[in-house]
């Protein structure tokens, strides 16, 4: 086993000297959320890049449970930071453009006030007398620091895991101070399973014979075994099952020879022993207890109603990212937050990044190309200047990014007709929005709010680059995240023929939109009829029907008449029907079921 297996995640870092750290001291007492106060607070933090003249380019990065202020190296000679891959000149959080700020959290053990700090009332370390702190308290201390730096509004707050909880704290309760929130691999509250792991870890520390009520700062033995056990357990939950199989499957019985008193019969055992022992060297057990408890108490609600209430006051833009193999902060929890934001008409983009790396994915290079580019594109579009620049840069590359269901190249005739059918400035939900071409047209015409739904990760990135809001979802799972009548208009453009659960999708569309626009290729078009009737073969044609019967993404074949029957049977009102002969580029009025190859319907319930 090579060293890099042992060092491939943030969590494996040893303690590093914080040579570039700065210190801010706040001498006023800090009232705590749950009860009590701290007589004063010291904050250790690091900064990268330059604050611009109007102080509008500050990005706050919130670290996770075991992180610290050293998010990145300050120069090539500096010790590595925990997110070097994402933070630096020219990187996705570009320190040539943004002023990056990363403070050590309240309750931590890397300089900011925590249980290892001296309690002025007793003259000895707080230990277990350190009051119970919350994510809200952590955020409040960060706000003191941001104010002292003269920043009235952050461009963005970014955090993953417990850092994501802090980002959520900012954006739900202090969103006037934040333009954009980026919540990565996080949750509105821990799952009961994740909470249970924390409980087991804390019990290992609290019941360690050397814990001594938390007063182990006397140079005597410390609760090293308990803390190491908690850390080992944490490690298992940060990795996915696939990632562990890859790391430890083949060489199961070949442990690395590490100096440890823990079991090292198996390769995974030697890894855990190493991680546990290393962690004890750099982290304080009381901080672990305080911060894991703050995380466990964090709770934006466990029902859609409570979540909606938590997000109601938010006024910032959102980017929510999860990872498919993250089982500690599972994607469904990110979706719960996205749904709550959508229910409140908040601007949000969401992507569940396909990854095998588990919860640690956001700290690893494997998927950086995807989450990093989404973060970078979202940041670029948070200020108007950036948005314009991004537009210009991306217009070229979008030229070739038409949806694969397009009939018309280079121009989507149906888009033009759909746009004409919409009331001026109507709000629009575009289902299967692709890379956002139609939404871009609508944005330029002043429609708002606009939201896209898309499944393909690359197309989501294209939308975010265009400054559009887009959430990843599978239409076949319905539109339960949207409220009745939430949009003036819901569009399903040339996607119906690929939908599995047609009744459900249409029923949800007419529920969510006051008007719905549905376009689809007409299987009753005479050329298609001829192919089956005269040639005895499954019809094919250019455009969306250019596939073979055996490899087509299209699974529903319907005629204009079929759709009219369907609307009648379902009790939907048809307001408009536009039938097109796209070869002739003309609308068809006579016998459209035979003569049109594309139909656009405007319906409602």
Among residues 241, 315, 409, 568, the one that binds a copy of itself under rule CB under 8 A: 241
Q: Provide DSSP, 44-76.
A: EEEEES---TTS--EEEEE--TT--S--S-SST
Q: Residues 248, 250, 252, 257: what is their CA dihedral angle, to the nearest 10 degrees?
A: -80
Restricting to residues 47-66, name those near a copy of itself by CB under 8 A: none
Among residues 236, 309, 368, 507, the one that binds a copy of itself under rule CB under 8 A: 236
Compose the 472-511 pattern: x for residues touching a copy of itself by CB under 8 A, - for all others: ------------------------------xx--------
Closer to a copy of itself by Cβ: residue 488 or 562:
562
161 in active site: yes
Residue 457 interacts with a copy of itself (CB under 8 A): yes or no = no
Closer to a copy of itself by Cβ: residue 224 or 348:
224
326 in active site: yes
Give the C-alpha separation, 363 to 64, whole Å. 10
Among residues 461, 489, 558, 567, the one that binds a copy of itself under rule CB under 8 A: 558
Among residues 15, 16, 73, 233, the one that binds a copy of itself under rule CB under 8 A: 233
Residue 562 interacts with a copy of itself (CB under 8 A): yes or no = yes
**Cβ neighbours of residue 82 closer than 8 Å, sequence gap 6 or more:** 10, 13, 63, 67, 68, 70, 71, 363
Closer to a copy of itself by Cβ: residue 35 or 192:
192
Give the C-alpha separation, 519 to 541, whole Å. 17
List the Cα angle 422/424/428 in 5-degree steps.
55
Give the C-alpha separation, 435 to 376, whole Å. 17
- The region of 20-28, 296-304, 308-316, 338-346 touching a copy of itself under the rule CB under 8 A is 296-304
403 in active site: no
Strands 41-48 and 348-353: unpaired
Phi, psi of 222 (to 5 degrees): -115, 165
Q: Six-digit token pair at 295?
A: 């995380």
Instruction: Tell the smallest beta-carbon distance from residue 270 to a copy of itself (Å).
Output: 10
Buried b (16+ CB within 10 A) or exposed e, 123-139: eebbbeebbbbbbbbbb
Eight-class DSSP state of 301:
-
Instruction: Tell the smallest beta-carbon distance from residue 492 to a copy of itself (Å).
Output: 13
Restricting to residues 252-291, name those near a copy of itself by CB under 8 A: 252, 261-263, 265-266, 268-269, 272-273, 276
Identify which of 206, 463, 118, 168 has the alpha carbon closest to the alpha carbon of residue 316. 168
Q: Are 331 and 473 in contact (CB under 8 A)?
A: no
Compose the 512-551 pattern: x for residues touching a copy of itself by CB under 8 A, - for all others: -----------xx---xxx-xx-xxxx---------xxxx
* # chain residues binding a copy of itself, by CB under 8 A: 75
Eight-class DSSP state of 302:
S
Closer to a copy of itself by Cβ: residue 158 or 567:
567
- The region of 56-64, 163-171, 226-234, 391-399 touching a copy of itself under the rule CB under 8 A is 226-234
Among residues 256, 344, 557, 604, the one that binds a copy of itself under rule CB under 8 A: 557
Closer to a copy of itself by Cβ: residue 63 or 264:
264
Closer to a copy of itself by Cβ: residue 257 or 551:
551
Q: Are 206 and 226 in contact (CB under 8 A)?
A: yes
Q: Six-digit token pair at 496?
A: 């119906």
- The region of 165-173, 180-188, 239-247, 572-580 touching a copy of itself under the rule CB under 8 A is 239-247
Restricting to residues 297-316, name those near a copy of itself by CB under 8 A: 299, 302
Restricting to residues 90-149, name those near a copy of itself by CB under 8 A: none
Give the C-alpha separation, 22 to 8, whole Å. 28
Instruction: Tell the smallest beta-carbon distance from residue 394 to a copy of itself (Å).
Output: 34
Catalytic residue among 9, 11, 161, 310: 161
**Cβ neighbours of residue 421 closer than 8 Å, sequence gap 6 or more:** 517, 576, 578, 600, 602
Eight-class DSSP state of 88:
E
What is the H or E stretch that residue 160 is in? strand 154-160
Phi, psi of 391 (to 5 degrees): -55, -55
Residue 191 interacts with a copy of itself (CB under 8 A): yes or no = yes
Which residues carry out catalysis?
A: 161, 326, 359
């Amino acid at each position: 086993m090579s060293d890099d297996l042992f060092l491939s995640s943030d969590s494996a870092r040893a303690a590093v000297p914080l040579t570039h750290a700065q210190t801010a001291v706040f001498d006023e007492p800090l009232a705590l959320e749950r009860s009590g106060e701290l007589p004063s607070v010291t904050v250790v933090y690091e900064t990268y890049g330059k604050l611009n003249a109007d102080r509008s380019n500050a990005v706050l990065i919130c670290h996770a449970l075991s992180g610290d202020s050293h998010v990145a190296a300050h120069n090539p000679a500096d010790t590595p930071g925990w997110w070097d891959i994402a933070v630096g000149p020219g990187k996705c959080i570009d320190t040539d453009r943004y002023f990056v700020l990363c403070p050590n959290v309240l309750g931590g053990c890397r300089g900011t006030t925590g249980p290892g700090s001296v309690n002025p009332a007793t003259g000895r370390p707080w230990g277990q007398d350190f009051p119970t702190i919350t994510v809200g308290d952590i955020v409040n201390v960060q706000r003191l620091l941001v104010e002292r730096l003269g920043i009235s509004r952050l461009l963005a707050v970014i955090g993953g895991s417990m850092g994501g909880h802090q980002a959520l704290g900012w954006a739900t309760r202090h969103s006037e101070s934040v333009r954009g929130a980026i919540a990565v691999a996080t949750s509105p509250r821990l799952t009961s399973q994740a909470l249970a792991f924390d409980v087991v870890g804390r019990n290992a520390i609290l019941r360690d014979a050397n814990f001594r009520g938390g007063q182990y700062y006397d140079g005597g033995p410390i609760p090293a075994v308990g803390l190491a056990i908690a850390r080992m357990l944490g490690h298992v939950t940060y990795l996915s099952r696939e990632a562990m199989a890859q790391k430890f499957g083949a060489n199961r019985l070949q442990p690395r020879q590490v100096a440890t008193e823990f079991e090292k019969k198996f390769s995974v055992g030697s890894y855990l022993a190493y991680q546990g022992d290393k962690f004890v060297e750099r982290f304080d057990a009381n901080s672990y207890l305080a911060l894991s408890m703050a995380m466990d108490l964090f709770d934006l609600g466990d029902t859609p109603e409570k979540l909606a209430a938590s997000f109601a006051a938010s006024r910032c833009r959102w980017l929510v990212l999860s990872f498919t193999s993250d089982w500690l902060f599972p994607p469904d929890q990110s979706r719960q937050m996205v749904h709550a934001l959508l229910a409140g008409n908040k601007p949000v983009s969401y992507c569940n990044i396909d990854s095998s790396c588990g919860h640690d994915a956001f700290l690893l290079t494997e998927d950086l190309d995807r989450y990093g580019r989404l973060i970078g594109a979202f940041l670029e579009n948070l200020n108007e200047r950036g948005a314009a620049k991004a537009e210009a840069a991306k217009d070229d590359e979008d030229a070739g990014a038409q949806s694969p269901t397009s009939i018309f190249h280079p121009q989507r005739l149906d888009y033009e007709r759909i746009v004409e059918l919409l009331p001026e400035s109507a709000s629009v939900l575009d289902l299967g929005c692709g890379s956002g071409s139609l939404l871009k047209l609508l944005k330029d015409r002043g429609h708002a709010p606009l939201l896209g739904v898309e499944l393909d990760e690359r197309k989501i990135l294209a939308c975010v680059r265009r400054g559009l809001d887009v959430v990843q979802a599978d239409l076949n799972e319905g539109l339960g995240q949207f409220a009745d009548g939430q949009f003036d208009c819901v569009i399903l453009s040339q996607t119906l023929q690929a939908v599995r659960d047609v009744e459900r999708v249409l029923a949800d569309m007419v529920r969510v939109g006051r008007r719905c626009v549905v376009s689809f290729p007409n299987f009753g078009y005479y050329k298609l009829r001829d192919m089956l009737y005269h040639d005895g073969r499954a019809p094919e044609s250019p455009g969306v029907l250019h596939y073979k019967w055996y490899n087509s993404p299209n699974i529903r074949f319907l005629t204009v008449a079929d759709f009219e029957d369907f609307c009648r049977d379902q009790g939907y009102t048809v307001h408009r029907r536009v039938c097109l002969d796209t070869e002739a580029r003309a609308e068809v009025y006579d016998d459209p079921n035979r003569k049109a190859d594309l139909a656009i319907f405007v319906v409602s319930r």
